[in-house]
Chain A
């Protein structure tokens, strides 16, 4: 039971696009520069992974609940998404939140490469 709707596509005005891109870059650049000036000394990082997150997983890094097909190597037949955990702070507490990240996202490819490298070591 599908409906076909013909929709207009308004082409993007290249001038508007260029103008917008310029402003976006300027804002990003400005943020970056001001940051460099404002922080002379590097703050210390508290980036250790919380143990409770790591405990439940095998060293391979693949989450068990994802099942077999979750990370099959060619990446075409299985899920389009991989389950990731986002590390956040709630007050002073560390927490992780489950999030689905598309398989072709750079983060996913990265993690897999690292895993491969680590298992070779």
Chain B
């Protein structure tokens, strides 16, 4: 059973996951460099799958690298680039190396990336991919052919609390839970009222006891990055007041940090939220500071501290 699964089941712990920045040419040294920064406070770290529809070192290769560094990975799997055979092969192959956490999502379209002429696949959609992964965990491929012994998997998903139709988003979350998702790394939401409404609806439906909700918090350098997200990231809008407030500051990096801190504080104050997922685009000390100032490092178990100090050597 993965650490993430234990924390989700435990119900009392506040969970912090993080995203490993994409790796291109830097190899394992690059992975290690990022882990040195993220692993001391993260419970599990996402290995992204061609994030934003740009090709990078593969999700499976990165997840295995994280695992072999003694840190717990979350294999992210998107439906854009691979058909159902390849998706099953990736999950089974990663599981062979001990990767248990898998987050399955539909994925950005190819038009969001730098090779928009690519053929999009979407042979499965997000909810179908979750159920296919659960099928693997129950000991068969989608065809019914046996997989023995069955890999132990802990499945998760993504949902966008702010995208229309707002009242349907919780139905979609319920569908993903029925398919097998046990944790949700929500997409970044710059409209606190929307996040609040989503979590409230999920709680009213009893969904927050069936799956752990982890809103994403993005660490950015300033107003330019916020503007970029607003204009270029599908499904995410940033209110102009929010951008202006950071833009007007004399220290934009600090203002952007304070924005993330208040977002995280707000998210964690919502009943039904089990933790946060941190996407760090700054690559500096801000992520560790955020976790520290939220008082989350104290909540980490001794076992985890021991694990990480061993890792840091």
A, B co-complexed:
no
- Taking beta carbons and an 8 Å cutoff, which residues of A are in contact with B? none
- Taking beta carbons and an 8 Å cutoff, which residues of B are in contact with A? none
